[in-house]
Structure 1
């Protein structure tokens, strides 16, 4: 099955980002921070938004590379994720930041998110 990354899988509006940040739930990894909120429309599934600031990477090519890696990892795992709105934010730049290390960090965060959502379902 080919998995796509359609517009409906993205957070696009400022209000959507603000809502996720306002929920104040986050998981911190080595480089990334994953803010999350249960989705208003569970049928839509997981959606993602990305924030990579100029403070971490001055050059657009570097910021875009980080976003491309995160989007691809999300695309591959989206079907197995619970219905959450996610915002992934780069919180620390450590040299050297390689693609595989960044992908590993995001996958660890997504695994932790799945475990947390299962715990919350069990607890009520």
Structure 2
């Protein structure tokens, strides 16, 4: 049975974790989301989020977006390569409905999967 938990080890927590990804990232993006990824030496994927107040003014909207991204990552982690991912929200993400945001994330995870398996 697949373990769908979301323990702390699956999160990017330190500045060094984020700097590692931003040094040489693979990027996939849509008009409202960018996902940077970099292969890690662990046997599992990890995720970090950046949702700027500049693009999502209200705290409850930022929390909604973060919750949806984390949940989507949690459900897809078994399909993702062993990479560190940083999801960056862009202008217009707050206006997306939950279902549309989840569909965009699914497409972006799939693109990362395809890029990883091309190499």
TM-score strictly above 0.5? yes
Mapping of 1:1-124 within 5 angstroms? 1=1, 2-41=3-42, 43=43, 45-93=44-92, 96-120=95-119
Instruction: Report the number of matched residues.
Output: 118
TM-aligned CA deviation for residue 94 of structure 1: 5.4
Root mean square deviation of aligned Cα: 1.3
What CA distance in whole angstroms lies between the structure 1 residues aligned with 2:45 and 2:58?
29
Q: Unaligned stretches of 5+ in structure 2?
A: none
TM norm structure 1: 0.89
What CA distance in whole angstroms lies between the structure 2 residues aligned with 1:90 and 1:119?
26
TM norm structure 2: 0.93
TM-aligned CA deviation for residue 93 of structure 1: 1.2
Aligned residues of 2:39 and 2:82 also touching (Cα < 8 A):
yes
The runs of 4+ residues in structure 1 deviating greater than 4 Å are: none
Q: Unaligned stretches of 5+ in structure 1?
A: none
What CA distance in whole angstroms lies between the structure 2 residues aligned with 1:86 and 1:95?
21
